[in-house]
Amino acid sequence: MPLTLCDVGPRDGLQNESEVLEPLVRADLVNRLAAAGLPRVEAVSFVRDDRVPQMARAEEVVAAIERRDGTEYSGLVLNEQGYERFAAAGLDRVNATLGATETFNQRNGNASLEEAIARVEQILAAASEPATVTISVAFGCPFEGRVDPGRVVELAGRFEGTEVVLADTIGVAVPHEVRELVSRTGSAGFHGHNTRNAGYANALAALEAGASVLDASVGGLGGCPYAPRATGNIATEDLAYLLEGEGIETGVDLDALIATSTWLEGVLGRRLEGQLYRAGTWPAT
């Protein structure tokens, strides 16, 4: 099955930044990522502005996107109200997310685990678009600690027939755990954070276990406002460099991704977490 790299920078990347970027700037980021050949870009999330102000005015972002053939544009939702906004905006894929633990769902979505499951099921029943279910804190929770893999297996089984992505939201997993859990759940994807510098190895482990979707964030931006010390995602350009070196075709333009991170560094006024955009490709192009 072909590999799908999904850049979540415009959503997961920017939601942890202190600066709130204007919708036109966020749309520009989406457009640059699509132009770099990303097969999927998570453009926005449809959540309450007061909860995640960095994602406010999502509809304006969507309206300013210059759609490109070959790129699938997704949006994240937590509940039915978010899905209604998603459907009206007209994106290509809905990403319905929930946490693997009771406390994380309460903090992130103001719902119990069972309520979060019910919300996702209702979204899937209503959706006419392709759908992804992302299970956050699948390997460890900032509030409850280690997560029983059996719980994640059972939870993933509730969404059989839907693309399921396992998220290492706080970056605590190591490769054998990723390999085992992706294999046991049959999940299609992995969303890794590089908090403890194992994110890239974990992405390779997910592929070895059969995953075909990898989330990453341009420049290594990212984090979760409701997960303390959850630092950035693995950097899209760094991951693409690794995969290409391993003989895995990504279809992305590394130079364009590097240019996007360089541009974003200027927009945010600080050095980003990714390394390739500073080191450059090798051999140099």
List Cβ neighbours of 32 (8 Å cut-off, separation of 6 or more): 256, 259, 260, 263
Please confirm, yes or no, whether 6 is among the known catalytic residues: no
What is the residue type of 181?
L
Of residues 12, 62, 3, 66, the one with CA closest to residue 38: 3
Angle in degrees, 0-180, between the axes of helices 23-35 and 254-268, rounded to the nearest 10: 160
Amino acid at 285: T
Query: Choosing from 224, 239, 240, 272, which is the catalytic residue?
Result: 224
Alpha-carbon distance of 152 to 72, in angstroms, equals: 27
Return the active site residues.
224
